[in-house]
Structure 1
């Protein structure tokens, strides 16, 4: 009976044509996806046991040299495009849909068209700069170029992990410099004006929730009545509304692209309730009396829907995030035109971002954070309300009890004049 080869020896045999002893070992794959092998050999001395031991030792030495030197275990001819597409396939199983789209978009729109034909092993710093230059020539902002640069570096680092040869110097290319973000919060008068316009809507509590508590858009639109607890006077944020992509675009029979470990519940079509990406995203929000009254009134008249959504569309389907954003813009436009002299001394309020645009929904979180900070609220309480993974983006997560959170929200409500007589 032939002796079983030891693990890691590979294939060992004596070639009949010239009697040399041959040993091979697999070291990854070629660009075409076929197995790649390294082969070593020794001349025959006429002593089979000695020759076999010699070629096995030579093979082991070769394998150890590869591991120690970082010599690539993949094809040296792999192009950026070949690896980028393989990398995106890996990311489908590890990234949430929005995160995957954020990675896939620059890869397909900029990286592959610009340097996809280049081999990984021959990349230069000039190639990375070429991607940013292509975006500038197309009129894209430096922030877009910087985000694409980060994606490209992540892609190349992953290639190294997989055994591809990538020049280390390209990883040292600095990202394009970006201008300071123009994200900011509405001023206090702007926030008050918007709340007053929203108060005339049947579902005005939706926008009160945005400014008082600072939840993310998906958290509001994914809120269901099971998580509105009037006995405990609180709301629990545990799910978000999201539109998951099909495995095959527009093919409803292909199933949904759901990464490993991703908790999702289908509502209808591609609309799902999904869990937040971190433990800090699950949190409890205490309702102020005025907010609770408005919430009760809205739930009595909201459109019927089979999922218990608190803020569905008028049709009873899950609310579309684009329609929700359009309403927020309309509220700002109406607030800018309204005059409140008959109610308070607020007067006309020129609502709008200094850059000449409307405020985004996410900037409502800035309003809440600013008001909480100006009120001197404990950073841990702010973190617990806003769902930051870190306090002031630093510190350990811990549960904050209801009383200090309610006090904090009441301070924000008072500043925004919410629940006060008009």
Structure 2
């Protein structure tokens, strides 16, 4: 396990450019399997999870060519379907949550798709029912080997249908959309996810020749086509990273500019941080955070009751930023209730913040009340282990604001979602050192 050593309480200054969006990349990269023609993708983040998926595509026989930093071409004109039944695939596929989204494209184009139970963050139950129920609705046969934890779907020809999803799953919607674009007839998906990254996928597929309408709404209508062609696509900036840098600026009382944020795709994110008392200024397509030398004060609801921040499907607030919001609240004036509805284990990192001196009451697996210090009492440095991507970055932000030198182990979790994070933070004044694995 590699480690970060972080010396806290240094003000940062300057600008930082967000990486390409991780969650978009995992969808878009899987979509290259839908055509034999070349696809060019730009602004791909250089992070562990994305690189694992690119390697998986290579192993499937996709021709991958790196043009420049963040830009690649992909050509899936000679896909090796035998790899799907190999022991190597079972090992490669289970190490990455995003691998589930190769199933829809493979099923649509080749009539079969397999996947081992995928990995990813240990943040609670993350069921796959929505994906496979969608494939079954399109006419696929489903099988599951309990001994190997191996899923499979097969169909001679998918047929369009109406379906009401049991949850607005982003990856589930993406997978079903990618299967439906080559199905026979019309598919209507109601209660579809409508996140900007899902919109990006639909726009890319339409450029490839798909016929998808309702993009940006929770009802997608897809008229199947016989084949898709090549295209060029550019990833949006990562909204989770943007939110992380807003929180970092506030906690370290730093003046920061976050550049090229695609403001119109940020949804509730700026408003939620404003409710915590943080000044979020729009400057063109940049975000400017002034130094909060006098701290920041949490708003109350109109009736005076305690502010509650909870996650919800888009255009609600993304669950991936609740960990950041919780950490930021530890130094605010006032109190807030954080309600994590989606994942029952995502708040379990708060014991580490309590060890640092934060005032947090973990009400149950889904709710935590934070009583802010108003910077009258600093968090104290400690030794921690990163449990998942978002909690890991939250702990890193806490360490950068804390008094003393903190240690964070298992930073491979952070590397899964954040590109060269230590180098980029050092460039704006952070005192952070990466220590090699023992």
**TM category, shorter:** under 0.3
Greater relative contact order, per chain length (Cα 8 Å cut-off, separation 6+): 2
Tell me which protein shows more strand as a share of its residues: 2
TM-score (norm. length: structure 2)? 0.24
Q: Which has the higher helix share?
A: 1
